[in-house]
Amino acid sequence: MFNFRNDYHDLCHPAVLEKLKTLQEEGNIGYGYDPHCERAADLICDAIGERLPVHFVPGGTAANALALGFRLLPHEAVVSADSGHIVSDEVGAIEAGGHKIVTVETEDGKYDPEKLEEFLNTFGSFHNVLPGIIYLSNATETGRVYTKEELAEIRRVADRHELPVYIDGARMGSALTSEACDLTLSDYPKYADIFSIGGTKNGALYGEALVFGDKRLAEEFIYYQKQRSLLLAKGFALGAQFEALFEDGLFFDIAKTANAMASVLYDKLSEAGYAPMYPLESNQIFVEVEGEKLEKLAEGGQFEVIEKGAKSIVRFVTSYQTRPEEVDALIDILNA
Amino acid sequence: MFNFRNDYHDLCHPAVLEKLKTLQEEGNIGYGYDPHCERAADLICDAIGERLPVHFVPGGTAANALALGFRLLPHEAVVSADSGHIVSDEVGAIEAGGHKIVTVETEDGKYDPEKLEEFLNTFGSFHNVLPGIIYLSNATETGRVYTKEELAEIRRVADRHELPVYIDGARMGSALTSEACDLTLSDYPKYADIFSIGGTKNGALYGEALVFGDKRLAEEFIYYQKQRSLLLAKGFALGAQFEALFEDGLFFDIAKTANAMASVLYDKLSEAGYAPMYPLESNQIFVEVEGEKLEKLAEGGQFEVIEKGAKSIVRFVTSYQTRPEEVDALIDILNA
Amino acid sequence: MFNFRNDYHDLCHPAVLEKLKTLQEEGNIGYGYDPHCERAADLICDAIGERLPVHFVPGGTAANALALGFRLLPHEAVVSADSGHIVSDEVGAIEAGGHKIVTVETEDGKYDPEKLEEFLNTFGSFHNVLPGIIYLSNATETGRVYTKEELAEIRRVADRHELPVYIDGARMGSALTSEACDLTLSDYPKYADIFSIGGTKNGALYGEALVFGDKRLAEEFIYYQKQRSLLLAKGFALGAQFEALFEDGLFFDIAKTANAMASVLYDKLSEAGYAPMYPLESNQIFVEVEGEKLEKLAEGGQFEVIEKGAKSIVRFVTSYQTRPEEVDALIDILNA
Amino acid sequence: MFNFRNDYHDLCHPAVLEKLKTLQEEGNIGYGYDPHCERAADLICDAIGERLPVHFVPGGTAANALALGFRLLPHEAVVSADSGHIVSDEVGAIEAGGHKIVTVETEDGKYDPEKLEEFLNTFGSFHNVLPGIIYLSNATETGRVYTKEELAEIRRVADRHELPVYIDGARMGSALTSEACDLTLSDYPKYADIFSIGGTKNGALYGEALVFGDKRLAEEFIYYQKQRSLLLAKGFALGAQFEALFEDGLFFDIAKTANAMASVLYDKLSEAGYAPMYPLESNQIFVEVEGEKLEKLAEGGQFEVIEKGAKSIVRFVTSYQTRPEEVDALIDILNA
């Protein structure tokens, strides 16, 4: 039986659990004011190469809602690619905070900077909202990644419109260790005013880090985080997880393993005549599968059906736990 | 060094961590649709003696915000005792959801049913909000507990005004194992339409259970929970924790230990001439300490100063981890 | 000089001002509890042929926000045609109330019932919002009107999905007096759970009526209206205006005059070689005008440019105040 | 029959209606971009002695909600006297916008600057909200007025806490023409960052002016106003009303007349043995009336009962329409 449903069906990486265990006899202060959060922030800043404010939040939707909603004025909207996770996978969390999302059409989940610019130019009448912040994710919902030059281009558009940029890094690990991506963590503050580093989909039990490119942007953030019920009392447990992830580069090792397994799966799918829909860039693969095969596949393991049809679109996600046997089991069914 | 700061400075009870560990090789489905959440809900329903919808949420403020905000209409307010946690300890989370909190004066954090009734009678003009739900906590912020008869009385008031009741059980464990409290978990559905069972302050790593007294009230709740960014992807880890807590009554054992240590501390404080402000009813003790002693205490360990003054009010909280030596260390300083 | 900019550049119909004047020596009670609001509601109910709750609100965006937001649960969304006024002309008012708008593609602003049904069928996953109410406008933003059969079809779709329907009647007058529309006011309660009757664009100084198809739906509405700052203290002035509009059918006469002038303009535009984009159905006409002519037109009077381009799309709106000379002045420029 | 219920039971001052009438043949542009709004703003700025941004809004609750909510961050609260109109007379409008109101105890509705300072000093923990703006009204709900020195003192407190101040001027006319008040309109920008000038209770048909002490504070305000459904399409009608009120000082004359009648009533009440509860400072008078008299009074005309009891507290409000005969009729009953 294979499990390609998602990259968060594991409990957490063993090293994360080990680290948590070491806290059991400690008596830590609450709400993130503990030495573990401090050290985790330090390790992350080491990886970035810059001292920046870092806050830990319980999950990915939380990271997005907090980063986007904190300083937006009521009449300001969030700009997103039409495929953005915030658009149709977070039950209107952004709107629940009072803000419209305005969407830019994309082909594959990545902004075309020119189209973004044109889109931003359509605003300015008081009958409609004003763009207030640009949301993008790397890797995107479609498994694509941005290059340095692409992010630089988007940054230029944002600057011309005096808009901050938030990068959703729910799958940052997979992006940064992708061969298609020439970015490192140290590039992020150039392109993003705020960005998240995803733990949940990369070996943590729960939690993401939010990094603020500008100290003043983070001021009083903890108030907002608590108001939204997203400041955990035992914040130290979040800190400890990110300590584990950023000691000795575990965060990147986990992602590399997931990407490597995606690469194996990608090649075998292609060989089996199931050419994936997009070039391989991270740990997500989208493939069209016809009706009967789909049923067989469903008996063999777990995965998500993105769109039902004569040929359905299915998604396979790999993780650091993916075993070669799982790939083989999947391919065997397709070849049968 | 003693630590009476709070009941959530531990990582979690060892049995909770053990249980989590057993999930490491499993591949669970996300968002609470897994066997661990199902079994945890079953165990809780066994303890209640009734099959009711149970949802797991990441923390106490989350439990309150979700339970109170889900089905309230915009013009409806939350009724709370003036000392309620939602009033001044959650950064306006209820108001951030669009609802006013209207407060009833209390002497010690517990509603006087007559005053509550009088208070509710003052509403009805369209210039002001309408009460929409009654919030109470057991144990209260002041460490007091309600008896069956007291809750029954409040329920009658609520029924006369056709108002649902939510009981915040962040410290339910301590309340239900208190000698001052004749309630059992099975009484809760009679008095509360919704109630929370606090894990964070009673041995869990994170998380509370929300129990709905009425199936229909829980319908579509998961949408709201996700919208508020409070539906964790790895929901199974929440389920597993509550499995550990409700197997063999661990939840109550943890609380009993905390209460027992509070009792020891309470008696020794009284002997030492520091008579606590309220009768001992749970795991929180409030004492007045004069200036110099306060400084000495602060050197000896951790606790919270609730109100500064010539005589300051300090709070000591015990937990299942409290050791007799900690009590002695505290008393020694007071006696010095 | 002509003025085809909109149908609300007048102060109000003289009869409305006359009626207001008669209140000057009265001392009316506030907030809509006065005899004028009562009589206006009666007159409207006479026109409907049914006793229904009627509330008066200050404007069209207010009517929409109040009708749609009042009883929606937080995770419920408003369904709208992509061209809906609430989508891009109300600065995100619906989202500011916490609700997402989900949009159905249309060709001309009118729902295709089949596409609506398909669209509604795509919901049901807890990752996304749930539809909570269907918004439609008659006449639409594009000047189109619905027929009985079309509304009946939409109603059937709504019923299958157990969704209430709100009809935005900002231009109801123009719709109901259109030759393309076989509806009367008495049909509305069959198709809509709530609907607005637009005064501002049909001779009132300010204000719309909101009619509730179901008494219970209107319960406590006044609380919500006041909370949103949309309950005017001098409510009697709103009542008086609708008295004037619904005495002797003035509301419909005003609209008929506007439609008649639209018909004249429509024919002359066609003759002049400027065939309007849609069939004539109400008091709005959309025409493509090339660059140079556009400049000439702009010198000759007022109108709105909807979309700029080599051929720009412009909108001409008629009202009860439109004079034949204005039509001629416009046509002269086009013919020059 | 007398009518002391409130100062908004009239339609409007005849000069206001006359002015409105002059617009009937004009074709004005919408949303406040017309010459009437421009001229009204100019007249107001003349009275202030400074060029400041002025926006017109439909009513008093609207003015408060808009001024307070526009630039507040989500975790920031509104500071108010416990008797503030926003606290219990606006159905939680501020909370509906997501913000908590934190209240300072007062004796008579006016801030004691020292108590305000102490109150503000209690904030700063991330468990609670942060004060974001100070709300005060002049005249207050209790009919009291502030002096220059009192406002200067409050301003100093606000400055020490870096908080903006908003003054609710729903009854500004009555305050500024009060003998107890040494303020003029030109003093307001020194003490308030934003303030409203109440039309509804001072001769307008509807509407208040919002004045921004700082140009940047007003930037993009029109977006927020429209989003909250509080930007009327026929904005010119609001402008015209304020033109009428600020031509030749009508605004102040109206208020003076109301105050003068209050003075007559005040003296006669005192003579009749019904000494008002507060010194006479504006157009509101609060008196205790025993049970039987209350019934007689209720037969003789209109007024509000503020608090029912053996001795009830009733409120008499005068306006520019109050006639001496009404005062006599009231006094006759009390003397009977």
Neighbours of chain C (3+ CB pairs under 8 A): A, B, D
Chain D residues touching A129 at Cβ < 8 A: 223, 227
Contacts of C203 (CB under 8 A, 6+ apart): C10, C12, C13, C15, C16, C245, C250, C251, C254, C320
pLDDT of residue A214: 87
Using one digit for the tens of pLDDT, what is the confidence trace for D65-116? 999 999 999 999 999 999 999 999 999 999 999 999 999 999 989 999 999 9
Report d(CA B197, CA B187) in Å as an integer: 13
Chain B residues touching A27 at Cβ < 8 A: 3, 5, 9-10, 302, 321
Using one digit for the tens of pLDDT, what is the confidence trace for C259-316? 999 999 999 999 999 999 999 999 999 999 998 999 999 999 999 999 999 999 999 9
Chain B residues touching A206 at Cβ < 8 A: 58, 206, 232-234, 237
Cβ separation B130–C224 shorter than 8 A: no
User: Is the model's pLDDT at A155 over the cut of 90?
Assistant: yes
Report d(CA D216, CA C223) in Å as an integer: 34
pLDDT of residue B25: 85
pLDDT of residue B215: 87
Average pLDDT over residues B263-281: 96
Record the tokens describing residue D309, joined without a space. 């009891």
pLDDT of residue A102: 97
Amino acid at site C110: K
pTM as predicted: 0.96
Cβ separation A129–D223 shorter than 8 A: yes
Amino acid at site D66: L
pLDDT of residue A184: 97
Chain C residues touching D96 at Cβ < 8 A: 227-228
Cis peptide preceding D272, ω within 30 of 0: no
Of D75, D95, D126, the CB nearest to B98: D95
When pLDDT is cut at 50, 70 and 90, the band that residue B221 belongs to is very high
Of A89, A99, A127, the CB nearest to C95: A99
Of C11, C92, C200, the CB nearest to D24: C11
- Residue C219: how many other CB atoms lie within 10 Å: 12
The predicted complex's ipTM stands at: 0.96
Q: How many CB contacts within 8 angstroms connect chain B with chain D?
A: 48
Of D89, D98, D100, the CB nearest to B128: D89
Average pLDDT over residues A23-36: 95
The sheet with strand B208-212 has its strands ordered as B54-57, B208-212, B194-198, B165-168, B130-137, B76-81, B101-104
pLDDT of residue A272: 96
Query: What percent of chain A lies above the pLDDT cut of 70?
Result: 100
The two beta strands, D304-307 and D311-317, are antiparallel
**From the centroid of its chain, how far is CA B58?**
13
Cβ separation A30–B6 shorter than 8 A: yes
pLDDT of residue D25: 85
- Residue B147: how many other CB atoms lie within 10 Å: 14
Using one digit for the tens of pLDDT, what is the confidence trace for D41-50? 999 999 999 9
Cβ separation D127–B98 shorter than 8 A: no
When pLDDT is cut at 50, 70 and 90, the band that residue A25 belongs to is confident
Chain A residues touching D100 at Cβ < 8 A: none
Q: How far is C245 from chain B (nearest CA, A)?
A: 28
User: Is the model's pLDDT at D193 over the cut of 90?
Assistant: yes
Summary mean pLDDT of chain D: 97
When pLDDT is cut at 50, 70 and 90, the band that residue A159 belongs to is very high
Chain A residues touching D220 at Cβ < 8 A: 73, 75, 130
Tell which of A31, A72, A229 to mutate to test the B interface (max B CBs under 10 Å): A229
Of D75, D98, D128, the CB nearest to B98: D98
Average pLDDT over residues B9-32: 96
| Residue B306 near residue B142 (C-beta atoms within 8 A) | no
Cβ separation C129–A92 shorter than 8 A: yes
Residue C150 phi, psi (nearest 5)? -65, -45
Residues (pLDDT < 50) of chain C are none
pLDDT of residue C8: 97
Using one digit for the tens of pLDDT, what is the confidence trace for B168-183? 999 999 999 999 999 9
Chain D residues touching A162 at Cβ < 8 A: none
**What is the chain B residue with the closest CA to A65?**
B229
Cβ separation D126–A223 shorter than 8 A: yes
Tell which of A223, A226, A230 to mutate to test the D interface (max D CBs under 10 Å): A223
Using one digit for the tens of pLDDT, what is the confidence trace for C180-212? 999 999 999 999 999 999 999 999 999 999 999
Chain C residues touching D17 at Cβ < 8 A: 17, 20-21, 24
pLDDT of residue A291: 87
pLDDT of residue A317: 98
pLDDT of residue D291: 87
pLDDT of residue D121: 97
Chain B residues touching D98 at Cβ < 8 A: 95-98
**From the centroid of its chain, how far is CA A56?**
15
Contacts of D42 (CB under 8 A, 6+ apart): none
Of B243 and A291, the structure prediction assigns the larger pLDDT to: B243
Cβ separation A26–B6 shorter than 8 A: no
Using one digit for the tens of pLDDT, what is the confidence trace for B84-119? 999 999 999 999 999 999 999 999 899 999 999 999
- Residue B323: how many other CB atoms lie within 10 Å: 11
Of C74, C127, C222, the CB nearest to B224: C74
pLDDT of residue C98: 97
Cβ separation B224–C31 shorter than 8 A: no
Average pLDDT over residues D265-274: 97
Average pLDDT over residues B304-308: 93
Alpha helices in D172-281 (DSSP H): 172-176, 188-191, 215-218, 221-227, 235-246, 250-271
